[in-house]
Structure 1
């Protein structure tokens, strides 16, 4: 078969791009290798920058009818003192708060809205095995779906298939790894009505735990030094449970719900970026182009910003059959600088805050100076809120709907 645009990956970047292109009248096929979106421990935070995108296309009110939690402030327990780290309530956005919603609900929502357009097709259980090349350009993909193999020809192939991208590897495009000193262990624990309601992090000498309030349960992220999981396992599951309980005392009565190491999922953190995001006929966006640290939870929202910029710049050339490599280069020019700035901030926080914290064995006399300033000068809390909630150079949808 043939289409104007074939998107590999039905995550937030792929589906939002597919939705926007189809809305603008571009025939698009999105390929998702899994049969559904039900995979746990994916990013569940939708930031104000993404809420603005949903407002731009008239979907925000419908989206907010989904069960969700709203966060106006991010807090942290820093060596026993609870501090406000970011205040989102003053952001220039239609809804100045973070939304916590299971990612599968977000993806189902976007997919359902996209199916309303005649130019949109979503294939589940369709795995891209390699790119097809003709005369030095990418001309489509080979797809394996339920035991059958098919070739899909496309004017543009978009790799939105994550940091372990098959498309980028098949196309021979390199990426640069900038290193990360941490990994993250994800797990769920029940939440009781007596538990605190705040979403945030808890810092103790040698450890950090982030707890996301999901109403009936806590989604927990336990930060460890890079590559230390096997040493942690060697100390035994009871020792891990005790560590979690010592960091956040209110979890002490439920840590036994971590029944085995199978309940704990490793996120191997990486920070990487492609020197060039495109080839003739191919564009990489989201984690396929730049893997982000989980710091700030900005990865999903940065990927969606890529999708919006790509749609703004590519919809007309795709629809009119005049797409050139210069159009793909323009997408990278638009999005590379925000990516570089965000990654530099993440690397700085990893090196200056998390690595020393995880190596620390003594309790400091007080909270660090930057944290004290956030407490004394509430206006400063708007700076991290802006960086997390809106990001660098937030994108707006500039495309009118077709017809």
Structure 2
């Protein structure tokens, strides 16, 4: 991957709207997982890509650390999986929901799903970014420290971006612009694409815990359903654990060390299954991060000349581990739509056209919109069930989970959806089975499987 503009910062005579041949086939704005995955997918399609990055160094945030089987398959196809494994990606066979004492409520057993990739992997977010960046070929040019100010237009079509880089403002043109610039996307807002954001009424407090010497936990993502709300834990490389704890927005505002230690003890009293971590949890207080949580889906995922991917297009609660995985699927789908509609030309004999790009963007919108809405509903329904704090709500949630766990058909369908393999929503009848209505099909694999 090239990290400097090939023609030099002063050699851009053809990069204004409507002027001459384009230097790039696509400009990807943002270098989180969504942007890097898109750059990788477009690079593999033979396109010349400019990757614009606001940050020079990725922020060390606790996010996007669990890869679902659908993403593992894509990353394997892209040649990225070996790079993740070299960085210590941890294989996990299941996602388990347990009560506060560690007793099973429901198992999502990934070993039962079809295909070759039947497990999750966990890895630090910066390491996932590094693996994706390592995979980029010479067709991708990267400008670190470039601030995208707004899209530029040729008539009613997005035809490039205005960017501030190395002390200068430049207008860069390409037949395709990809907004991968996150939840507060400037490109999305400037393009007039609407969203209705909903903030969840709680926060997640994240800890990076050294568990060296602590008896090894099961190789799983574990969600604890407690009277205090969600507790989510999974292993990371180097005998470490990520722990998320649900808190109210003001619970720890201005808290000193003594307050934090008292809160840790209360957390462990409310989640006895985590008591072996007592000393390690208090020792990890310096690693804590408080995460605000949002939910939205953009009104459209593409307009002429512009595609939205990742959190520029959709944002979900992290409980179901779908955000990063949906972004990777966005990238794969966009590249496939571009290739199918004649935009990608591996031979470089004839450069892609705006007309072909817009045909592909229409296909991308048609393909992804239903999937994104499905993931939004699935993540939100799961979040409401697990983060409910009222006693009646928690009792209903536990009942639903136990009923689903005892129904192999529903459990298989839930695992299939969670793995990102397809859209198989529960019917109204399925919902009644979850509440206790006898299901004569319970022991059968679903017909569609």
* Interval of TM-score (by shorter of Structure 1 and Structure 2): 0.7 to 0.9
Q: Helix, strand or coil for the counterpart of 2:163?
A: strand
User: Higher RCO, 1 or 2 (CA under 8 Å, sep at least 6)?
Assistant: 1
- How far is the alpha carbon of 1:288 from its aligned partner? 0.4
Residues 191 and 147 (structure 1), Cα distance of their counterparts in 2 relative to 1, 3 Å cut: farther
Alignment-derived partner of residue 41 in structure 1: 62
Rounded to whole Å, the distance in 2 between the matches of 1:156 and 1:16 is 16
Rounded to whole Å, the distance in 2 between the matches of 1:80 and 1:354 is 17
Pairing partner for 1:145 from 161, 165, 172: 165
1:61-140 map, 5 Å: 61-83=82-104, 84-115=106-137, 118-140=138-160
Alignment-derived partner of residue 274 in structure 1: 298
1:240 counterpart = 2:260: no
1:220-299 map, 5 Å: 220-225=243-248, 227-229=249-251, 233=255, 236-246=259-269, 247=271, 248-259=274-285, 263-299=287-323
Q: Helix, strand or coil for the counterpart of 2:72?
A: helix
Residue range with higher mean Cα deviation, 238-247 or 9-18: 238-247
Alignment-derived partner of residue 399 in structure 1: none
Rounded to whole Å, the distance in 1 between the matches of 2:171 and 2:64 is 32
Contact kept? 2:320, 2:383, Cα under 8 Å? no
Q: Helix, strand or coil for the counterpart of 1:104?
A: helix
Residues 350 and 47 (structure 1), Cα distance of their counterparts in 2 relative to 1, 3 Å cut: closer
Alignment-derived partner of residue 192 in structure 2: 172
Q: Which has the larger radius of gyration?
A: 2
Residues paired across the two proteins, number:
386
TM superposition score normalised by structure 1: 0.86
Residues 367 and 164 (structure 1), Cα distance of their counterparts in 2 relative to 1, 3 Å cut: closer
- How far is the alpha carbon of 1:233 from its aligned partner? 4.3
Alignment-derived partner of residue 219 in structure 1: 242
Residue range with higher mean Cα deviation, 191-200 or 302-311: 191-200
Q: Deviation per CA, 1:97-134: give whole Å up to 9, x if none.
A: 0001122222222222212xx32112222221222223
TM superposition score normalised by structure 2: 0.78
Unpaired segments ≥5 residues, structure 1: 395-403
What is the aligned-residue RMSD (CA, Å)?
2.7
Rounded to whole Å, the distance in 1 between the matches of 2:204 and 2:313 is 21
Alignment-derived partner of residue 178 in structure 2: 158
Q: Deviation per CA, 1:19-38: give whole Å up to 9, x if none.
A: 12122211111112111335
Rounded to whole Å, the distance in 1 between the matches of 2:253 and 2:34 is 35
Pairing partner for 1:317 from 332, 340, 343: 343
Q: Helix, strand or coil for the counterpart of 1:236?
A: helix
Q: Helix, strand or coil for the counterpart of 1:392?
A: coil
Rounded to whole Å, the distance in 1 between the matches of 2:132 and 2:76 is 13
Q: Helix, strand or coil for the counterpart of 1:254?
A: helix
- How far is the alpha carbon of 1:206 from its aligned partner? 2.2
Rounded to whole Å, the distance in 2 between the matches of 1:59 and 1:191 is 28
Alignment-derived partner of residue 400 in structure 1: none
- How far is the alpha carbon of 1:378 from its aligned partner? 5.2
Alignment-derived partner of residue 20 in structure 2: none
Residue range with higher mean Cα deviation, 164-173 or 372-381: 372-381
Q: Deviation per CA, 1:237-288: give whole Å up to 9, x if none.
A: 233222333222122112322445xx43222111101112222211111110
- How far is the alpha carbon of 1:382 from its aligned partner? 2.8
